[in-house]
A and B are shown apart, each in its own frame.
Chain A
Amino acid sequence: MNALAQPSGLNRVADRPVAISIRNVSQRYGHAGSPQSVLALDNVSLDIRRGEFVCLLGPSGCGKSTLLNIVGGLVAPSEGTVAVDGRRVRGEPLPQDVAFVFQESTLFPWYTILENFRIALKFQGVAKDERDARAMAALETVGMAGFARHHPTQLSVGMRQRVNMARSICVGTAILLMDEPFAALDEQTRMVLGEDLSILLAKTGKTIVFVTHSLAEAVFLSDRIAVMTARPGKIKTIVDVKEAHPRSPDFMLEPRFSDLRNELYAMLRDEIRLAMAAQRDPNAGEEASS
Chain B
Amino acid sequence: MSRTTLSAHLIQFGVIAILGGAWYWSTATGSVSKLFLPEPAAVWLAFSHLITTGQFWSAVKVTLTTIAQAYAIALLAGIGVGYLVSRSRFLIDVLEPIIAGLFAIPITLFFPMFILFFGIGTGSKIAYGASYAFFPIALNTIAAFANAETHFLRAARSMGASQWDTFRHVLIPSALPVLLNGMRIGFFISFASVLGGETLSSVAGVGRNIALAAELMESARMYAWIAFVVLTAVMLNLLAGGLETRVSRGGDGAWR
Instruction: Give the B-binding residues of A (Cβ under 8 A).
Output: 72, 74, 93, 95-96, 98-100, 102, 104, 106, 108-112, 119-120, 122-125, 149-154, 171
Contacts and interface: CB of A to CB of B under 8 A. Distances in A.
Main secondary structure of the interface of A (DSSP, over half): loop
A100 B153 CA distance: 13
A40 B28 CA distance: 80
Interface in B142-200: 151-152, 154-162, 165, 169-170, 173-174, 176
Given A102-B155, A108-B174, 12 more contacts: A74-B154, A93-B160, A100-B158, A104-B151, A106-B154, A110-B173, A110-B174, A122-B165, A124-B159, A149-B252, A151-B255, A154-B253
Nearest to B156: A123
B89 interface: no
A107 to B, nearest CB: 9
The 6 closest A-B pairs by CB, nearest first: A95-B160, A106-B155, A110-B173, A123-B161, A123-B159, A100-B158
B254 interface: yes
Query: Is chain B's interface secondary structure helix, strand, loop, or mixed overall?
Result: helix
Contacts of A99: 158-159
Interface in B115-165: 151-152, 154-162, 165
B14 interface: no
B256 interface: yes
B250 interface: yes
Given A95-B159, A153-B255, A108 B152 contact: yes
Given A106-B151, A122-B165, A123-B165, A74 B158 contact: yes
Contact of B253 (A93, A123, A151): A151
16 contacts: A74-B158, A93-B159, A95-B159, A98-B158, A104-B151, A106-B151, A108-B152, A108-B170, A110-B173, A110-B255, A112-B252, A122-B165, A123-B159, A123-B162, A125-B160, A151-B255
Contacts of B157: 74, 93
